[in-house]
C-alpha cells in the first residue's frame, strides 16, 4: 500500500511550512493507527506518504477504508487546512531486503497511487480478486497505461463512502 497526501507542495506554498507539516503529522497519525488496527507494517515514509505492507490483502483494503474515513472525520473537525489522501494497493510477492520491499509488486502499487485522486482508493485486479466474497464494493476504473509496464492495467476503486 502507498498513501500520498494530495497537493502537499501547493499546501506548503499556500499555508506555509508549519501548517503543511501539521497536515503531514495528521496523515502519519491516521495511517499508523490504521496499520496498528489492521496488522500492517510501515515500510518507509516517502515524505508526503507512507509505504506499508500487510500479510493479509483484505486487511490492507480495510486499513485504506479506515484511513479515508478518519481523514474525513479529521477534515470536518479541522476545516482550515484540509488533508487529502489517495491510496494505491497491489498484492504479490515482493523482494524483501534490508527491511524494505522491492520488485514489480511494489512498483505497480506506486503507479496505482499515482492514478488515484483525492479521497480515492485504487487497487489492482489481483487485490479485487483476492477480496472476492469480502464485504467490499469495487468499481472498475478501466485499463490504464502505467509507466514501465508494457500492457495496460485494469484498476478498481474501493467505494468507501
3-state SS, residue 43: strand
Q: In the sheet that 121-124 helps form, which strands lie side by side, from edge to edge?
A: 40-45, 50-54, 2-5, 85-89, 121-124, 153-158, 138-144
Domains, the chain, ranges and CATH? 2-158 (3.30.70.1230)
Please report, in tens digits, the pLDDT of each residue of the chain (161 residues total). 999 999 888 888 888 888 889 999 999 999 999 999 999 999 999 989 999 999 999 999 999 999 999 999 999 998 887 899 999 999 999 999 999 999 999 999 999 999 999 999 999 999 999 999 999 999 999 999 999 999 999 999 999 98
DSSP state of 136: -
Give the CB-side neighbour count of residue 57, counting CA atoms within 13 A.
21
**CB neighbour list of residue 120: distance below 8 Å, 6 or more residues apart:** 86, 87, 157
pTM beyond cutoff 0.85: yes
Cβ count near 5 (within 10 Å): 24
Look at the block and give the residue holding cell 492495467: 153
Amino acid at each position: 500500500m502507498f498513501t500520498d497526501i494530495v497537493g502537499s507542495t501547493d499546501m506548503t506554498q499556500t499555508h506555509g511550512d508549519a501548517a503543511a507539516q501539521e497536515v503531514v503529522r495528521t496523515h502519519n497519525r491516521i495511517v499508523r493507527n490504521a496499520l496498528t488496527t489492521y496488522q500492517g507494517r510501515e515500510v518507509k515514509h516517502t515524505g508526503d506518504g507512507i509505504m506499508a505492507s500487510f500479510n493479509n490483502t483484505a486487511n490492507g483494503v480495510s486499513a485504506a477504508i479506515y484511513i479515508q474515513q478518519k481523514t474525513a472525520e479529521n477534515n470536518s473537525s479541522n476545516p482550515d487546512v484540509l488533508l487529502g489522501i489517495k491510496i494505491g494497493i497491489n498484492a504479490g510477492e515482493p523482494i524483501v531486503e534490508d527491511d524494505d520491499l522491492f520488485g514489480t509488486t511494489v512498483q505497480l502499487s506506486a503507479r496505482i497511487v499515482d492514478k488515484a485522486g483525492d479521497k480515492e482508493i485504487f487497487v489492482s485486479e489481483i487485490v479485487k480478486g483476492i477480496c472476492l466474497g469480502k464485504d467490499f464494493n469495487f468499481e472498475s476504473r478501466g485499463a490504464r497505461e502505467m509507466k514501465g509496464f508494457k500492457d495496460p492495467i485494469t484498476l478498481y476503486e474501493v467505494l468507501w463512502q
